[in-house]
Amino acid sequence: MIDAVWQWFGFQADQPLIFTQTAFWFFFAVVILGYAIVHPRQGLRNAYLFFISLFFYYKTSGLFVLLLLFSTVTDYQIGLHMVRSQSHGVRKLWLALSIFLNLAVLVYFKYAYFFTDAFNTLMHTDHEVFNLLAHWSNGAFGTSFRAEKIFLPVGISFFTFQTMSYAIDVYRKDVEPVKNVLDFGFYVSFFPQLVAGPIVRASEFIPQLYQPYSVTRHQFGVALFWILNGLLKKMLLADYLAVNFIDRVFANPGSFSGFENLAALFGYSLQVYADFSGYTDIAIGVAALLGFTLPVNFNSPYKADSVADFWKRWHISLSTWLRDYLYIPMGGNRSGSLFSYIMVGFVCLFLFLITPAVETVLIIVALVISLVLAYRLIPPIRKHIDTNINLMLTMTIGGLWHGASLNMIIWGGINGAGLIVYKYWNRISPWRDRRPFLVRSAAILLTLTFITFTRTWFRGESLDKVEIMLSQIAWHFNGALIPRVIEGYSTVFICLLGGYFIHLLPQTLKDILRDQYARSSLFVQGFVAFLAMVLVYQVMSSDLQPFIYFVF
């Protein structure tokens, strides 16, 4: 028994602490018991949750917790040095150091294989990735880490963006630096949102560190509602659809009819939303029980009536991060800047490294020359290039944030093009100021369809499979099979249609249901929670599916 308990406290790669495992809720119950003792003293409370969060990350990612500590300590120290410096130039150097360190960590762990493969292709070598950190640890401490592999730390994109935005905000004097490293560590590592967001701004969260703990009876009910809502989204919708239909089609699209491929695409749109927003809902609920408020990350995105509206509703913390720390610094919708053209070079370099061929170079050169000539010789086009280049770059780089592949660049580029097309359409649209119900319904359907088709590249394992899937939809739809497919996958289609139906319900109705649940008695709340858990257990896959955004 003692050995089993001690073993549980160690890192087990096949048993991470995630919201869909029973072990997490036992862990959280113990956390709450300790929290009940320490919460009256703010300093002790923040330190307690900081160390709890470190343990949570250790259980999720092992010794990568040292990487989290490195990011925490370096950006904490950089923030202090920036505020102490009276020289603007020195402050800028400290900011540059923060950005360099954060991006270096991100690139090393997330893109090492990409750059190694690109180098081998260009130079006709056969170098393999070598984990310098593992090699150093093995020599210095006698550990036995595998130096021939670099594993991606869970949530690295989220916490590096979070610490980097803190340094930028301190530089801009938008926030005061945190004076206590334990408080700052708690802000960076708060376990509900640590591994898959939302990305929390220092200005939103740090003031909460110094507020007394307060959770009313109604807030408790709302928090419990968010947790149940997230679990049902993840396990009843996302996992069930993935295991029983979507994964099969995407793995071998040529073996399924065009209708099945189309259904899998719309199913994946629902899956990725239910999966990611389900995680966020649980994170918001868990944080609320501890007395902290996390930002809303989704706002019914499939009710969006335009591409622009969709990106205001989807992954809001990342969209606003890219807007505030990339799009606006490049010049926003005013004009291109030196920063813009540096980013153009950055994207072109990635394109070349992804497909290092003479044809790629010729296409890039031809595109650049065409843009330069158009900019110089055709004055009316200058304004359009200036006002749209930053938007296109932001979406393309957003694609690269998700992964270094041609699929992700295409996905980001198509979304950028969609935003630009909508911007021009909106100027001449007869429904710009007022949209009747039928027009808005058609706009919502068109937006959902566009976003869904872009996800062919987001989810597709390769360009070949993307081509096969689109070809099946275009040329092998086979409408005669539709009744048999629906009958064969009846439960899947019921879940699919039910999920979209619930998503499209009026927000006021959802708010009323959440409020009614929060105001009900503890007995009713517990009974509903019990029914939800029974339902989840009935449809739960024997092999728990990880949250999709853990890989980002």
Alpha helices in 196-257 (DSSP H): 202-205, 217-231, 239-241, 247-251
Q: Is 402 a catalytic residue?
A: yes
Amino acid at 69: L
**How many Å apart are CA 238 and CA 495, to the nearest integer?**
10
- Scanning 476-544, the segments in alpha helix (DSSP H) are 482-488, 490-504, 507-519, 522-539
Among residues 124, 402, 476, 503, which one is catalytic? 402
d(CA 294, CA 108): 29
User: What one-character DSSP code corresponds to residue 174?
Assistant: S
* Contact present, 440 and 220 (Cβ < 8 Å): no
Estimate to the nearest angstrom the gap between the alpha carbon of 201 and the chain centroid. 15
Whether 94 and 82 have beta carbons less than 8 Å apart is answered as yes
- Report DSSP state, residue 199: P
Distance of CA 493 to the CA centre of its chain: 27
Preceding omega of 198 cis (within 30 degrees of 0):
yes
3-state secondary structure of 295: coil
- How far is residue 294's CA from residue 200's CA, in Å, rounded to a whole number? 7
Kind plus residue range of the DSSP H or E element containing 86: none
Residue type, 212: P
How would you class 247 by CB atoms within 10 Å of its CB: exposed for 0-12, middle for 13-18, buried for 19 or more?
middle
If we measure between CA atoms, which residue out of 453, 432, 454, 335 comes closest to residue 384? 335
Q: How far is CA 84 from CA 13, 177, 238, in A?
A: 42, 10, 49
444: helix, strand or coil: helix
Integer Cα distance of 185 and 75 in angstroms: 10
Within 10 angstroms of residue 108's Cβ, the number of other Cβ atoms is 16
DSSP code, position 301 = G
3-state secondary structure of 6: helix
134: tokens are 């593992």
User: Roughly how many angstroms between the first and final C-alpha of the chain, as a whole number?
Assistant: 37
Residue indicated by tokens 């990635």: 350
Which residue in 205, 229, 220 sits closest to 277, CA to CA?
229
- Whole-angstrom CA distances from 538 to 133, 232, 247, 490, 492 are 44, 12, 20, 17, 15
Spatial neighbors of 113 by CB under 8 A, at least 6 apart, are 129, 150
Q: For the CA atoms of the chain, what is the radius of gyration?
A: 25
Contacts 24+ apart (CB under 8 A), 506-512: 507/300
Token pair listed for 141: 């401490």
Question: Which residues form the catalytic set?
Answer: 402
